[in-house]
Amino acid sequence: MTGEWNSPWAVRAEEPKPGPASIDIEKAIRLTAIFAKMEASLEKSVESVFEGIALRIEYEELASDPVETIELIFGYLGLVAPETIALRYRKATSDRLSDDICNYAEFEAAVEAAGYSHFLEP
């Protein structure tokens, strides 16, 4: 695979992870507010359409074991998963935000002040 790849979430399977970085806290809070609003709207829509039969997959599940999660989705839909699930990319971050965000203490305080602490790691 050739070409420039610049994703904060995924790297090609053979690439090294980018490592810790500082983030724009104000931007992160603004985007979290948008995400929270959209997540609530999506959950309401899914519930009204599928009335409790939708399969909910958390990001942590998909990121920690994408093959198993994909197989779970196939099974939930009554389909047979392919024998091989080729993944061209892998998660670019660690499993702990505090390992990837250099200014995590400031970030954590701002997230808590904004009322979004439920999005932080326990």
pLDDT digits (tens, 9 = 90+) for 33-86: 999 999 999 999 999 999 989 999 988 898 889 999 999 999 999 999 999 998
Inside any domain, residue 93: yes
Inside any domain, residue 112: yes
- Which pair of structure tokens corresponds to residue 27? 């931007």
Inside any domain, residue 97: yes
Number of domain units in the chain: 1
Question: Is residue 1 predicted with pLDDT exceeding 60?
Answer: no
First to last CA, the chain: 37
SS3 state at 114? coil
Inside any domain, residue 102: yes
Inside any domain, residue 68: no
Inside any domain, residue 18: no
Q: At which residue do the structure tokens 């519930």 appear?
A: 47
- CA dist., res. 105 & res. 23, Å (int): 11
Inside any domain, residue 113: yes
Question: pTM here?
Answer: 0.74
Question: Is residue 25 predicted with pLDDT exceeding 80?
Answer: yes
SS3 state at 90? strand
What is the residue range of 97's domain? Answer: 85-121
pLDDT class for 18, splitting at 50, 70, 90?
A: confident
Inside any domain, residue 116: yes
